[in-house]
Each structure stands twice: as C-alpha cells, then as structure tokens.
Chains A and B, each alone.
Chain A
Amino acid sequence: MSAVTGTRVRRPDRATASWRWSDRLGLGLAWLLGLLFCAIAAAIVVYFLLEGIRYLRPSLLVTNPAAASSESQTGGFLDPLLGTLIIGTMSMAIAVPVGVGIAVWLSEFGRPTALARVAESAIEMMAGEPSVVLALFGLSLFGLGALGFLSQTTNGVVLGQSFFAAAALLSLVGLPLVVASTREGLQAIPSHVREASYAVGKTKIATTRRVLLPAARPSVITGTMLGLGRVISDTAIVLLLLGGTLTFQAANSTPLLGLLRGTGDTLTGYIYYNAPTGDGNQPSKAYAAAFVLMLFVLALNLGVDFVVSRSRKAITWK
C-alpha cells in the first residue's frame, strides 16, 4: 500500500453518511433481521448443547430402550442410533445411484425433451411432497402381497413395515437433493471441456464416466450429504413405515435379512416418543438423543461447506 500521508481515505462504511433516512432505516432493519436469525440459530444450538451435555451419558449410547417405571431404568438409545445409521445408509444407497443417473440423463442427454420435462417436474413434486403423504403411500405399496417378502406377514396379512420399506420411501426424500446438486455440478462444467473429450475421439459415455462425473464429484458428495441430512431428520416415514418400535424387532432369525425385514426405530422416532408430549415422556432422554442427531446434521453441513470450498479451488477452468 502506498503511504500517502495527509490524504483521508474514504472507507466504504463512511459511504452511508450520505444516504437518505429511508435507506438507512432499511439497512438497520436488514442488520437487525440478520442478527435475529443468527441469534435464533445460536440459541437452538446452544440450548441443545447445554441440555445434551447435561443429559448425555456414554451409557445411553450403548444400552437399549427398556420398559420400566423409573427413568433411570429405561435404558439408552443404542438401537435407534443404529437404526438412523442403517436407514441413512440404505436410503442413500438407493438415492445416490438413481439420483446421479437421473441428473446425468437430464443434463447430458435430455431426449426426448418432453419426457425430460415430465421427469423434471416429477422430481420437483417429490421434493415438495410432505413425507407423511409419502409414508401413507408406502404403507399401501409395501402392504401388497407381492412385496410381502420385504416385511413380515402375520396370518396372511402383509405388515408393510420394515427397514426396506422405510429406506425405499426415504430415498425419495433424499433423491431430489442428489439430482439437483449433481445436475448443477454437471451444468457448471464448460461445454468446451466436453468437446475436448469428444475431440480426441471419446464417446459420450466415456466422456460422462471419465470426465464429467469426476468433475461433478464434489456436487454429488454435496447432494449426498444434504440428502442424508434430510433422510435422518425425517420422522413421519420412520413412524409409519419403520414401526417406531424403539428396539429392533427382527422378522425372523436370519442374521441380516431378518433384521432388515423387521421393524425398528431411529433417533427421530425415539425423540418423538420421549418428548414431553410423547407416550414415553422422558425429556432428558429426548434431549440427549436430539443432541446426538443435531451433531450428525451439523457435521453433514460442515462437510458440505468443506467440500464446496475445497472443490471451488481444485476444479475450475481458467
């Protein structure tokens, strides 16, 4: 910086001195609202942080919910915690490949145009669908006799509740975020990069696999994390389609399949049950579980920020 003495540099914040009073009022309001929202977000985090530290004991993470009259005997939330992990993994295992496929098709092929339009609005509609409505649909779908192998059948009636059913419907909750983010990532790749691949004799498939998808990988990861955040925070589908049974109720004794065909719970279902207005009414357990869930979601959001900021530097064309 040049050291010019005696010259007052006009700093940007001084610029408001010449503003009209209405503009200054607007600026003040904008600041006030911005700070208000920061305060609300901070209040939620701090509140659950304090409650979480107060109530979260390591034993809660390794014991299962149990029926008892005293709160000290009702156990922890091991199964709901595992349930959240299982549901998250299963849902994204469906949503990511399907979502990436749809995004590639919409962005790179998009023919026939009419079908692409329809697919686009279908995904938008799915993103706006209340998850309880999806859950209701899922119940009737997985209650069909033909899909009985994915849940349990008692006296010839298909229950329609299982990890498979819940994960299938929750993948629809995560799907739109994966599609939107991947598509955005693909569209951000300049067309001359595609042409550079065609111009050395590569097919569209090879270009998509070897150039476009690697270039869009940060967007795929971002979409996956955002989708996962949605999936693990959903409650309605868990209660209706997973049973909300607090502990795993395996359909039979087959090691993994029996568990996945059976019912269970996730952290959200556990919180719902133990909330002061819920059937369990054990607020201390609910706060502890909510704290753990909040940590998951915060970690996912921080992960998104990290991936986005890193990829912005790594994958850009001059």
Chain B
Amino acid sequence: MEMRKPPPVRRLSGSELPSLAASNGNGHHSGTVISAPRPPSARDTAVAIDRMDVEELSVAYGTKPAVKAVSLPIRQGEVLALIGPSGCGKTTLLRSLNRLTELTRGASLSGRIALDGVDIATMDPTALRRRVTMVFQQPNPFPMSVFDNVAYVLREQAKRRPRRAAVRGEVHDALARAGLLDEVADNLDHPALRLSGGQQQRLCIARALAANPEVLLLDEPCSALDPISTKLIEDLIIKLRDDVAVVIVTHNLQQAHRVADYVAFMYLGELVEYGSARRMFGSPREQRTKEYVSGAFG
C-alpha cells in the first residue's frame, strides 16, 4: 500500500458518547436477546480520522433524482448509519461511494466524493473498490470454497494466481477479523453456499476486509438474518470501526441506535439531518427527523 499524507486526527469528547440510557428502543425489539453490548469505555480512546468527504453529491436515474446535493464526512473510528424510509436514496448514496452506481444504466452523478483527499472520479474503479469495499443485503458468497471466497479478493487479476500457501495467512486473518475463523477453520474447503445465512454474511464481511479497505460499506447487512446472527454482526461492526471507516445503511432504527456513532437521516433524496447518534435520537433539530425516529412515519 502506498504512502498517503497523514490524515487529520481529532478526538471525540466524552460527551458525544451515545449512552445506553438514552435508548428509546420501543417496539418488539425491546426485551429480546439483542441488547446494546458496547463497552462504554470504547469511545474514550477512539480516534476519528477523516477518510471520505462527500460534497454536494447528486445522483439521478434518468431524469429521476435519487440523491440531492448531499454533503457529509465519513470517518474512521466511527460508524455512520444512513437511515430513512425506503426509496430515500440512502442505498444510492452508499453505492456512489465505491462507484457502483455507474453500473446502473442511465445513472448520472454530480458533485465530488474524495477518498483521502483524492477525487474518486479520477481513480481506477477497481482500485477504488479495493479501498472501499461493500457488503450487501443478501448474503452472496461466490460458488466456491470458503477459502477461495476470501482468496479470490487477494488474487489480483491479470497476474499469475498466487499459490494457496502464499495467501493462507491473509485469508485466515480476514476470517478472524470477521469472527468466522473458529467456526470454519476445519472446513475451509467446504462450499461457502453450505454455510448458514449468518455465517455467509460474515464470510462476505471477511471477503470485504481481505482487501484491507479504508472504508467498509454495509447495505442493510442484517435484514435477511435472524436475531442471533444480527447481534454477532453488530458486535463485529463496533469492533471494526477503529480500523476502518464503517458506513451502514439500515431500515432498522434500533440497529442504527445500537451500532452508530453518527447518523444521517435522508428523506426523498435529501439529507435532512446529520449528527451524533445521541443527538439524532435524543434531540433531533428537524421536525421530520423527530417524526421518523419516533416512528411517526417510514
């Protein structure tokens, strides 16, 4: 990996710590096995590093605008949750961060997105996507072994495929970071599609981490999973945020509350409000945010 200019560093004050007490976790999720497991001390030592900068980003599919002039920062050391009702543009915003939007026919984009100060539009998309990786809503391991799913990412195209032994260390490392190694260590050669849904999704996270990205994009990663798998992945997200900037799109307000340090609320393509999770859930400034987080619509 090449050297980059040192990113600006800033410490979060303790007062921005989203506390469990502020939880307004109403609805059917309260009282279930899913609790907010975050150690309260984690935030005190966390360092936030600016990774990506979204400036006045607008995306349209044909003539239909999907994202309208959105600006926000994405920092390592924090989890940013994009929330909002269906069709509000949060997935489109996420997909423009690694230029997946341009694979959709008729999609057009304006504004600027920078990764460590460099405009991503000027980067080679494959290089960008190795630095900004993504996990999808549906677990989607490739039809190959558990090992090869991760090794696939490590093997650069157009070069000679490295031997299995050469990538073994990195594969194990990625699986360990995704908290999956202990479960699959004995059957790395089994087809990945035979794993359970939750294991498949953690394999997809391992795959995304194998490229050693600076930013990890998660598009509703738990919406197809059971509560226990969901909890495993949420714990994982919290653990990962110190090494990689995490952006998660979620429909699930409780989940945003459990994992996010910062929250961006989008509605009809606009960024209505952006702020710390504590403030967004505790005392949002905008009326629409207030209504959405209290469950009045969405």
Contact = CB atoms under 8 A, between A and B. Distances in A.
A211 B142 contact: yes
B143 A190 contact: no
B289 interface: no
A233 B157 CA distance: 42
A9 interface: no
A8 interface: no
B139 A200 contact: no
Interface in B175-197: 191, 193-194, 197
Contact of A199 (B133, B144, B152, B194): B133
Given A203-B126, A210-B152, A315-B193, A198 B103 contact: yes
Interface stretch (B164-172, B204-212, B261-269): B204-212
Most chain A beta-carbon contacts within 10 A, residue among B137, B140, B153, B157: B140
Contacts of A190: 138, 140
A202 B126 contact: yes
B102 to A, nearest CB: 10
A32 interface: no
A195 interface: yes
Contacts of B126: 201-203
B173 to A, nearest CB: 16
Interface residues of A, number: 23
B233 to A, nearest CB: 15
B51 interface: no
Interface in A87-101: none
A215 B142 contact: yes
A195 B139 contact: no
Interface of A: 190, 192-193, 195-203, 205-206, 210-211, 214-215, 314-318
Contacts of A317: 138-140, 193
B43 interface: no
Contact of A215 (B133, B143, B210, B211): B143
B69 interface: no
Contacts of A211: 142-143, 152
B10 to A, nearest CB: 29
Given A314-B191, A317-B140, A318-B224, A200 B157 contact: no
Interface residues of B, number: 33
B131 to A, nearest CB: 8
B211 A196 contact: no
Contacts of B193: 314-317
Most chain B beta-carbon contacts within 10 A, residue among A192, A196, A197: A196
B200 interface: yes
A195 B133 CA distance: 11
B103 A195 contact: yes
A200 B208 contact: yes
27 contacts: A190-B138, A190-B140, A192-B136, A192-B138, A192-B140, A195-B136, A196-B142, A196-B207, A197-B142, A198-B103, A199-B100, A199-B129, A199-B133, A200-B129, A200-B133, A200-B211, A201-B128, A201-B129, A201-B133, A206-B157, A210-B142, A211-B142, A211-B152, A214-B142, A214-B143, A315-B193, A316-B193
B3 interface: no
A318 B139 contact: yes
Given A314-B191, A318-B200, A318-B224, A201 B127 contact: yes
Interface of B: 98, 100, 103, 126-130, 133-134, 136-140, 142-144, 152-153, 157, 191, 193-194, 197, 200, 204, 207-208, 210-211, 217, 224
Contacts of B136: 192, 195-196, 199
A83 B137 CA distance: 53
Interface of A is mostly: helix
B197 A198 contact: no
A205 B133 CA distance: 19
B143 A315 contact: yes
B249 to A, nearest CB: 14
A116 to B, nearest CB: 14
A142 B217 CA distance: 58
Given A196-B140, A200-B153, A318-B139, 14 more contacts: A195-B103, A195-B136, A196-B142, A196-B207, A200-B130, A200-B133, A200-B152, A200-B207, A201-B126, A201-B130, A202-B157, A210-B142, A315-B193, A318-B138
Nearest to A199: B134
A214 B149 CA distance: 13
Contacts of B129: 198-201
A112 B217 CA distance: 33
Contacts of A196: 134, 136, 140, 142, 204, 207
Contacts of B133: 199-201
Contacts of B143: 211, 214-215, 314-315
Nearest to B129: A201
A195 B136 CA distance: 9
Most chain B beta-carbon contacts within 10 A, residue among A197, A200, A314, A317: A200
A318 B204 CA distance: 13
A200 B98 CA distance: 10
B205 to A, nearest CB: 11
Contact of A203 (B138, B157, B194): B157
